[in-house]
Amino acid sequence: MTVATEPALSPAAERLRGRLAGTPLAGRCEVADRDLPTIEVSPDAWPSLARFLRDDPECRYDLFVDLFGVDNLRRPGQKSRFETVVHLHALARNEHVRVKIPLPDEKKPALPTASEVYPAADWFEREAFDLYGFDFTGHPNLRRILCHDAFVGHALRKDYAPGQRWFFAEEDMKAPEWATHTDERAGHFETQTISIGPSHPATHGIIHLIARLDGEKIIRAETNIGYLHRCFEKMSETHQWNQIVPYCDRLNYVSAMINGVGFVRTAEKMLGIEVPDRGRLVRTILSEFTRIMDHCVCIGANLVDIGALSNFIYLYQNRENIYDLIEACCGARLTVSYVRVGGLAIDVPDDFVPRCRSLLESIPLFLKDVQKLVDNNRIVRQRLQGTGVVTREQAIAWGLTGPMLRASGVPYDVRRARPYDFYDKFDWDVPISNEGDNFARYLVRIEEIRQSLKIIRQALDILPAKGAVSSDDWRVVLPPKDAVYHDMESLIYHFKLVMEGIRVPPGERYEWIEGGNGELGFHAVSDGRGGPYRLRVRPPCFANMQAFQKMVIGGTVSDAVATLGTLNIIAGELDR
């Protein structure tokens, strides 16, 4: 008789199990190996597990990445209807870990808050409360964050109809509790509470800041978001895999291409298909161009806010030039919808390489102009240097990623930490700064543009001149139109793909890439049908924006404007 043995765990999971064995948590959590090492824990043991994962010298999962809910109502065979999923990252070892917390009580799903251990969990917990109705006991400010205040029900539960709207009027708007009374006194001034946004020239997109001022100094602030909550996650549950690509483009619409790449990579990993080198290189090249566009708009808009309009016009011209390239590839300028699961929608035009090379020539010229105007400009220096400072410890505690984290001295870039596509083949640097102020973020972004150009140059050198850009697995990628018209089998594949969508095997997976603003992750749960059962996007802006209300304390309102500019908040990604 043979006894089935459990497959060996990965070294990371094995270490976790070993470290947990010696603690009181030993019997209360299980370690398994899925796409990530996964710990399953009961709600009451979650805060102590969180503390352990953060503080244990061999774990040190210090960066809080994501927290979200899953509703298993229509997914039989799961332990409980609701579960909370948490992703953490260990900066020192570049490792992710997943914690799953099944919530046994279906009527009143509740779990203790982790916001004392990980300050970054605050908004993520509020979101899970808003969309799933999870009660995070002990949370200091548990109210709706994305949906409006007159909303009834919890939108991401499976029994909530996707189109059910609720009327919202001005009277229903709720200010935070502390902003409703004005008796607070500080120093020799009487304090006043002001409201900036949601429609304000300095907020780019729609963000609402409520600030209490002592004279000119901000002593307390709170940000209201959700004004562009377009229900991305609900929409992706009602669509097929490839139909979600256009929705992804509208997440971070300033760098649309990167979102699509991030999303289809998750589906491709679940399907286990490979994209041809040429397809992956075109994705890389266009993603890096998109990153350049993203940084150009961020820097340009920030400089407009502090009164330097001409830089915006110079930097925006880069964007127009890159638009020409993207338009030649896929026909759209901004929201490209160019990627598909398994490759690209169509091949690039014949003059793709010369077009890219001419952009490589022109972009540095504009950058040089801008740097000449800005780098030693006294006004810019006075407005940006020393304002909006984030220390290394704060940046990690608040869960920042991307240029914001790197400007605070942490060299975490997903392209380097966990190279995907060809990033480990290229010679490039991760720019960091130790200052952590607004000027550091400006410098990091400028340098990242140069590094992106360097990557594109190397990618163009190894780009095969001919070849497929998409996989030839017709169960995933649409067969060529010619074959559909002349070949019965291709016609059937085409019909099945269009009508039913791609059959992604049941399971779940988290894949993450470096977006314009930081770690952009997609967590997909599939139940084997044509579309995802649950699709969670980890928006870098969300964590970055959460830090804003803490960063502005002690500065003036004009500092807050400069700081908001360097955060590069894109409302589509922030509110989804």
Partner 1 sequence: MSSDAPKGTLPALGPAKAGGGAADFLLTRLEEMVSWARKNSLWPFPFATACCGIEFMSVASAHYDISRFGSEVMRFSPRQADLLIVAGTVTDKMAPVLRKIYDQMPEPKWVISMGVCASSGGFYRAYHVTQGIDEIVPVDVYVPGCPPTPEELIYAIMQLQKKIQSGEKSRDQRSAKLAAERIS
Helices and strands in the chain, H and E counts: 19, 17
Backbone conformation region of residue 111, classed left if phi is above 0, alpha if psi is from -120 to 50, else beta: beta
- Give the shortest CB-175-to-partner 1 separation in angstroms: 14
Q: Does 379 bind partner 1 (CB under 8 A)?
A: no
Contacts with 395 (C-beta within 8 Å, 6 or more apart), sequence order? 404, 405, 408, 409, 410, 436, 547
Give, to the nearest 10 degrees, the angle between helix 540-551 and helix 121-132: 120
Runs of H (alpha helix) within 133-271: 232-237, 244-249, 256-271
CA distance 550 to 301: 22
CA distance 523 to 415: 18
- Give the shortest CB-520-to-partner 1 separation in angstroms: 17
Q: Does 157 bind partner 1 (CB under 8 A)?
A: no
Which residue number, 104 or 162, has a Cβ lying nearer to partner 1? 162
Among 158, 230, 496, 503, binds partner 1 (CB under 8 A): 230
Task: Choose the stretch contacting partner 1; rule: CB under 8 A; options: 50-58, 157-165, 464-472, 533-541.
Answer: 157-165
Length of the chain: 576
Q: Does 235 bind partner 1 (CB under 8 A)?
A: yes
Q: Does 188 bind partner 1 (CB under 8 A)?
A: no
Task: Choose the stretch contacting partner 1; rule: CB under 8 A; options: 169-177, 214-222, 260-268, 543-551.
Answer: 169-177
- Give the shortest CB-470-to-partner 1 separation in angstroms: 24
Among 206, 407, 453, 552, binds partner 1 (CB under 8 A): 206
Instruction: Give the count of beta carbons closer than 10 Å to the beta carbon of residue 56.
Output: 14
- Give the shortest CB-315-to-partner 1 separation in angstroms: 9
Backbone conformation region of residue 249, classed left if phi is above 0, alpha if psi is from -120 to 50, else beta: alpha
Each residue 293-332 as x (binds partner 1 by CB under 8 A) or -, in order, gives ----x--------------xx--xx-xx--x---------
DSSP run (H or E) holding 559: helix 557-567
Q: Are the beta carbons of 326 and 332 closer than 8 angstroms?
A: yes
Q: Does 59 bind partner 1 (CB under 8 A)?
A: no
Q: How many residues bind partner 1 (CB under 8 A)?
A: 49
- Give the shortest CB-168-to-partner 1 separation in angstroms: 5
Q: Does 253 bind partner 1 (CB under 8 A)?
A: yes
Q: What type of residue is 301?
A: A
Each residue 347-376 as x (binds partner 1 by CB under 8 A) or -, in order, gives ------------------------------
Q: Does 170 bind partner 1 (CB under 8 A)?
A: yes
Which residue number, 166 or 495, has a Cβ lying nearer to partner 1? 166
End-to-end CA distance of the chain: 54
* DSSP label at residue 255: G
Most distant pair of Cα atoms in the chain: their distance: 84
Among 28, 148, 416, 529, binds partner 1 (CB under 8 A): 148
Q: Does 236 bind partner 1 (CB under 8 A)?
A: no
Q: Does 119 bind partner 1 (CB under 8 A)?
A: no
Coil, strand or helix at 339? strand
Q: Are the beta carbons of 446 and 366 closer than 8 angstroms?
A: no
Q: Does 160 bind partner 1 (CB under 8 A)?
A: yes
Site residues for partner 1 per CB under 8 A: 146-148, 151, 155, 160-170, 173, 198-201, 205-206, 226-231, 234-235, 246-247, 250, 253-254, 297, 312-313, 316-317, 319-320, 323, 333-335, 571-572
